[in-house]
Amino acid sequence: MSETHTVPKMPLEAKSPFELRVSLGKGVPETDVRTALATGDMGFLHSFTTGATVDGPGVRVVAWTTGCMWRCLYCHNPDTWTMSNGMPVSVAKAAGELRKYQQGLKIMGGGFTLSGGEPLMQHRFAAKLFSAAKTMGIHTALDTNGFYGDKLSDDELETIDLVLLDFKTWNPERHKHLTGVDNAPTLAFARRLAERKRPVWLRFVLVPGLTDDFDDIANLANFAASLGNVERVDVLPFHQMGKYKWQALGIPYSLAETDPPDQSLVEKVCGVFRAAGLKAL
Ligand code: SF4
């Protein structure tokens, strides 16, 4: 597939992933999309952002992929659900973007994070990009819901220095209500990462009335603590920065009236993870 199919009017670099981006890959024929997914020579990216400090250790360059098979009620970036909303980018070009920051990232103890969307919807592209980043000596992190973790080989897992595992909620029924799918594949991936001793940061979005059941949180905390490879837990307070995207895309948004959690609830939830022996921030 040639990158000349679409000439994005938008730069690949964005100020933040909260920029609404749609139809950037609309002109790409379906057969080319399939080839890109099978080979991983080309991927679809919402954007690159630089300077993030919350998506792994140090200052990060983050590539945001498009495509996600889940439909989380609180998703902050529903424009990343559809693959063709992303810009078609070759692995060489994406690696070239990364190379610009190679020295700076090393000096600042930062690295590269692949997020989304769900990056493992494009697992061949992800594997190639991580391999390229490791060749440059750059620390790598994958931000994933874990559903397609089994698409990566053990060798490919070794090219990922840190997995930011997004765990939505423990109770399978609530998980299905929240995301549309079962959480068993995510649990299986978490166990596999533990067996292979791959470092994990658990990410948990706290949404009042949706993910704040304390029995669920305690079960998740105990599970995470039992794995032995979870280095820290990020409790991420729900916010409404993505609300305008739901409205702009015309997707019914059931959390329009939901307030972010107050600090005392965030602290209480961190306390549950800490009580299980985990470092929670
Ligand atoms: S897994 Fe992430 S990108 Fe996909 S719907 Fe959920 S929050 Fe959105």
The phi, psi pair for 64, rounded to 5°, reads -100, 115
CA gap 56, 64 in Å, rounded? 14
Counting from 1 in the atom list of ligand 1, the atom nearest the Cα of 145 is 1
Which residues have C-beta within 8 Å of that of residue 236, sequence separation ≥ 6?
203, 204, 205, 206
pLDDT of residue 165: 98
Distance 137 CA to ligand 1 centre (A): 29
Dihedral through CA 105, CA 108, CA 114, CA 117, nearest 10? -130
pLDDT of residue 9: 61
CA gap 32, 56 in Å, rounded? 33
Rounded to the nearest angstrom, the gap between the alpha carbon of residue 210 and the centroid of all alpha carbons in its chain is 20
pLDDT, one tens digit for every residue, the chain (281 residues)? 544 454 456 677 777 776 776 777 777 887 888 888 899 999 999 998 998 888 999 999 999 999 999 999 999 999 999 998 899 999 999 999 999 999 999 888 999 999 999 999 999 999 999 999 999 999 999 999 999 999 999 999 999 999 999 999 999 999 999 999 999 999 999 999 999 999 999 999 999 999 999 999 999 999 999 999 999 999 999 999 999 999 999 999 999 999 999 999 999 999 999 999 999 99
Distance 107 CA to ligand 1 centre (A): 32
DSSP conformation class of 76? S
The span from the first CA to the last CA of the chain, in angstroms, equals 43
pLDDT of residue 28: 82
Distance 262 CA to ligand 1 centre (A): 23
Closest among 226, 223, 221, 228 to 275, alpha carbons compared? 221
The phi, psi pair for 193, rounded to 5°, reads -60, -35
Vertex 183, ends 267 and 231: CA angle to 5°?
A: 45
| Torsion-angle region of 69 (φ positive above 0: left; ψ -120 to 50: alpha; else: beta) | alpha
Query: Which residue CA neighbors atom 7 of ligand 1 most closely?
Result: 75
The phi, psi pair for 260, rounded to 5°, reads -60, 155
Angle of helix 184-195 relative to helix 214-227, nearest 10 degrees? Answer: 30
pLDDT of residue 32: 80
Q: Which strand (E) or helix (H) includes residue 62? A: strand 60-65
CA gap 2, 89 in Å, rounded? 9
Ligand 1-lining residues (CB < 6 angstroms) = 68, 70-72, 75, 77, 80, 116-118, 145
Partner residues linked to 245 by β-bridges = none
Query: Which residue CA neighbors atom 8 of ligand 1 most closely?
Result: 75
pLDDT of residue 4: 45
Q: Which of 46, 47, 80 to mutate to test the pocket of ligand 1 (most atoms within 8 A of CB)?
A: 80
By residue count, the chain amounts to: 281
Cβ-contact 198, 149 below 8 angstroms: no
